[in-house]
Structure 1
Amino acid sequence: MDGGTLYSIGELARRTGLAVKTIRFYSDRGIVTPTDRTPAGYRRYGPEAVARLALVRTLRELGLGLDAIRRVTDRERTLGQVAAEHAAALDVQIGILRLQRAVLTTAARRDPTFEEMERMHQLATLSEAARRRLIDDFLDVVFDGRPGGSGHAGVRRSMTPELPDNPTEEQIAAWVELAELSLDPEFRVAVRNLVDSHVADPPEGSANPPRPDVVALTRELVRAAVQSGISPDSPQADPVVATLTAGCALALGHSDEAQLHGRLLHRLETANDPRRDRYFDLLAVINGWPAPEPLAPVIDWSVKALRIRTARHSNSVHRP
């Protein structure tokens, strides 16, 4: 192309695909300047204006403002520097948009009241320190008064959500639901009762070994029966229940079968809260952990099996 070729604004518009009004605006702002003017005062632009306008168009489509573009075209900043600054700004905007979308998506599923919507927004926008205080308050209620050497510190850590610096929408939504759950007084009482129902480890320095956790032991001993589809009222369930009650005898401190079944039923019914499974499902999403194995199917099976055998034992005792 002849380096002396000059273009009118109309010719420049045809070559770049930009509107004449837009090119005139950029020219007035000094982003692209005319090389010459006709005797009548009309602007004329050199070939370099085509390349400059193509760059401006690309940067505008990427969301850069005119001030940033001018710094590039005036060589005050390199294209790489401005791109890095804009990318960092977009990261912040994306984080805000992701948070807003998570709250709105959650609200769309629930159809909340104005008050509930405000609470969801507040929970989603809490600082890291405020999130920590909220969860610490919940866990303080749950574990208050438990022996310091009982291993509950590890359990407490395993129940603590750690929202990452750049959470996904799914993690934000999970945090909002988990936070609401942890603020629910009924849920706090339920989890506290579950902790209280566990037999504490022996005092520090005691020669007695720790007693087994009934819930954990039930999951270990009953899991296979549930996965195999064994019905809790079938004869095949009898050895499973026998193994379970024998394994829990130490933890519950009973050898009498009827008393043992009653204590075990009470313990498992206390633990059988679907909100507990939901808490750990949400915790796994927030912390990026694998989805936990649900506890409810194992406890449901065990409770049904124990009730059936307790009824059988009662009938046999009262049979004339």
Structure 2
Amino acid sequence: MLGLACLMSVSLMACGSNEGSSNGVSGEIAVYTRDSSSGTREAFEKGVGFEGELTKHATEVTSNDDMAAKVGGEARGIGYTSLSTDFEKNNVKPLKYEGVEASSETVLDGSYGLQRPFMFVTRASGDFESEEKEQLVAAFLDYLQNSAEGMAVVQKAGGEVDLSKAVAWEELASKYPVLQQDNSDITITTAGSTSVEKTLKAALEAFSPLAGNVKFVMNQNGSGDAVPRTLGKEKDGANKADIGFASRAFKEDGSEDIASAMVSGQYCIDAVVAVVHKDNPLEDITQAQLKDIFTGKITNWEDLNK
């Protein structure tokens, strides 16, 4: 009788059917976004084209891991994370963007549209705690962005790099005599983007035994911290750092002046990926759909493809 009642029901949704939703999920879309200091958020909003128009109903999260956990725990959720996220572990599914899957190949060849650089900036030359630390920072960044060994570590951790430009670390290391001494009493402190944590941690751990066992402390809170803590108002306070990282380009409007840095640059490319709960049957999403969801024009899954 229950089955007959379902067949006769005006609303199949009342009996647990997903008909009436164009993608198999029904109800209000739970929108998740990163905090305002996030480089991932800035890259996503710029890439999709809705800067300053985010729906007031979006829930802010504090990091890539937090985003993945929140969306993975909400069947009606949607958010965005770094390509280096462990999707399976967090019960989330990455969506194709305009029909293109995010991968090493599509990021490097430019066919995947939502990508951003992983950038770094240091304190000014002469503004480190010691000359040895300054040399170690310079050596690490050379290892990170130019050496075959360092680039391979970054790639394995999810960063996209062009290995055809790599140089053997043995050749680069000869420029830094400080590497030959015991540096276990020196600590390099990093700050900035949370999105870089996976690639940065892997690179620092690989570099330490090559550099006299130098230590490191990662204190990542968002891309907006990178410049203030190395070159700006926080560089001499409790939150000071030796290297700041951003998961976006540094701003050219005067708010992030990096001209005085000892060195700055890009060490890899990452993709920003729209994610939904793993049980959501949606596989692909367009720029227009993402914009409508994140600005609040579309608020229910049933309306996504109308």
Normalising by structure 1, we get a TM-score of: 0.24
* Rg larger for: 1
Which protein is richer in helix relative to its size? 1
Higher relative contact order, chain-length normalized (CA < 8 Å, sep 6+): 2
